Amino acid sequence: MIENSEYFKNLGSRGSKPGLDRIRELLRLLGGPQDRLGIIHVAGTNGKGSVCRMLESILLAAGFNVGLFTSPYLKSPNESIRIGGKIISDADFYALCGRIREAENAMSEGPTEFEALTAAAFLCFADRRCDAAIIEAGMGGKLDATNVIRQPLVSVITDVELDHTEYLGSDIEEIAREKAGIIKPGCPALFGGDKPEALEVVKNECALRQAPLSVVDFEKMRVTSLGLRGTRFDFGELKNVFTPLLGTYQPRNAAAALTAVGLLRGRGLEISEEAVRAGLAGVSHPGRFEMLVENPTVIYDGAHNSMGMEKAAESVKTYFGGKVILLMGVMRDKDYERMTEIIAPLAEKVFTISPDNPRSLDAEILAGCFEKFGVPSEPCRSVRDGYSKALGVAKGANIPLIILGSLYFYKDIA
């Protein structure tokens, strides 16, 4: 078991290598577990994780045996694989790694960490005979390791924004084309974004594959209450629905999830209104405008790109009105200057940190960005140091502390 643990840890050194040849070879050697599953495939720039969590909770409430694969993980790799709403054990995860390690011996080139994690999820869900498997794409769609699914129950694209431009393309149309790569011939597709140029790309891809396309009708969404205890909304004929998820962006994600439920019903899944209500009322999603502490209020939101930061800023304004203390750390390959510009007007003071990741931006550089906007900023030597200082200032000023940026330092706080 220790050898399998070390094997997985060492996979990280292989980096990220877009392409499907390795994952296809690995899954063939493992017996093609992905072909034995009813899969809901979800891609998008933002919101895909929340939509996956909502669908998982709804399907569990409907009585299905559900598998969920998401990324990135927050503390340990087995968090990415859930069965019946529960993370698989370390023992089960490393047993799966052992099977992948054995299969790798017959491969021409070994898998990356994400490819191995994806294969482990498919293998686990097939072994446990899941009725439905919800699979979140990692990056893009066309060349993402999850895109080995032949006939999904439904393919969901939550939205399309500029992100990972060095891999996916420099404009919305190019990125939309990459994400639309998850659409499969004859299988229903759902688009939940608001960019007309992205929708046009998705429409064209669906036409080429003769895949019926549905588009989320956000006009049907009406938020009736929004507070730190949760959100109530109406969606079409479905009235007075509650979800504990915070963030002004979650009603849009709920609209996408509910529209996907309609498509799943059309694919033969029996999902009652009671299951929908119970599922949304019981859903959780760590690290997405999550309240960690009530007094003083501490919120963690993994807003890791410009669009995510816009949504986080909107949520901060809506829930709190005035200025807040910020603790923030981001990756250097993000548009951190634009992210700083978006959130700076809401900051009383900012503490910056460098997440424990090779791609992280130096805390001093991030602090300098805030100083340009006249916001007092202090780079900190560690996440713990930054959190301690930020929390102390928030307590003293009796104002909220908002933790923003990468999910890679969630494990050091929550």
| 246 residue type, one letter | L
Contact 135, 148 (CB under 8 A): no
For 373, the token pair is 């906007």
Contact 158, 46 (CB under 8 A): yes
Give me the residues of the chain with pLDDT under 50, please. 165
72 prior amide bond cis, ω within 30: yes
Rounded CA separation 136/296 (Å): 34
pTM: 0.93
46: closest CA among 334, 341, 249?
Answer: 249
- Which pLDDT score, from 0 to 100, does residue 141 have? 85
| 378 residue type, one letter | E
9: closest CA among 108, 103, 90?
Answer: 90
- Which residues are CB-contacts of 201 (< 8 A; sequence separation ≥ 6)? 173, 176, 177, 180
- Which pLDDT score, from 0 to 100, does residue 244 have? 97
pLDDT digits (tens, 9 = 90+) for 4-54: 788 888 887 887 777 899 999 999 999 999 999 999 999 998 899 999 999
Rounded CA separation 185/380 (Å): 51
pLDDT digits (tens, 9 = 90+) for 231-256: 999 999 999 999 999 999 999 999 99
- Which pLDDT score, from 0 to 100, does residue 234 have? 98
Strand partners, 189: 155, 213
Contact 278, 347 (CB under 8 A): no
- Which pLDDT score, from 0 to 100, does residue 168 have? 58
- Which pLDDT score, from 0 to 100, does residue 170 have? 59
CA-to-CA separations, 254 to 44, 109, 132, 304, in angstroms, rounded: 15, 40, 19, 21
pLDDT digits (tens, 9 = 90+) for 216-236: 999 999 999 999 999 999 999
Contact 351, 404 (CB under 8 A): no
The region, left, alpha or beta by phi > 0 then psi within -120 to 50, assigned to residue 4 is: alpha
Q: In 10 A of CB 162, how many CB atoms?
A: 18
Kindly calculate the radius of gyration of the chain based on its CA atoms and give it in whole angstroms: 21
- Which pLDDT score, from 0 to 100, does residue 19 have? 85
Domains defined along the chain, listed by start: 2-282 (3.40.1190.10), 290-412 (3.90.190.20)
- Which pLDDT score, from 0 to 100, does residue 2 have? 57
- Which pLDDT score, from 0 to 100, does residue 406 have? 85
Three-state SS sequence of the chain: CHHHHHHHHHHHHHCCCCCCHHHHHHHHHCCCHHHHCCEEEEECCCCHHHHHHHHHHHHHHCCCCEEEECCCCCCCHHHHEEECCEECCHHHHHHHHHHHHHHHCCCCCCCCHHHHHHHHHHHHHHHCCCCEEEEECCCCCCCCCCCCCCCCCEEEECCCCCCCHHHHCCCHHHHHHHHHHHCCCCCCEEECCCCHHHHHHHHHHHHHHCCCEEECCHHHEEEEEEECCEEEEEECCEEEEEECCCCCCHHHHHHHHHHHHHHHHHCCCCCCHHHHHHHHHHCCCCCCCEEEECCCCEEEECCCCHHHHHHHHHHHHHHHCCCEEEEEECECCCCHHHHHHHHHHHEEEEEECCCCCCCECCHHHHHHHHHCCCCCEEECCCHHHHHHHHHHHHHHHCCCEEEEECHHHHHHCC
- Which pLDDT score, from 0 to 100, does residue 330 have? 92
Q: Give the chain's largest Cα–Cα span.
A: 61
Rounded CA separation 7/21 (Å): 21
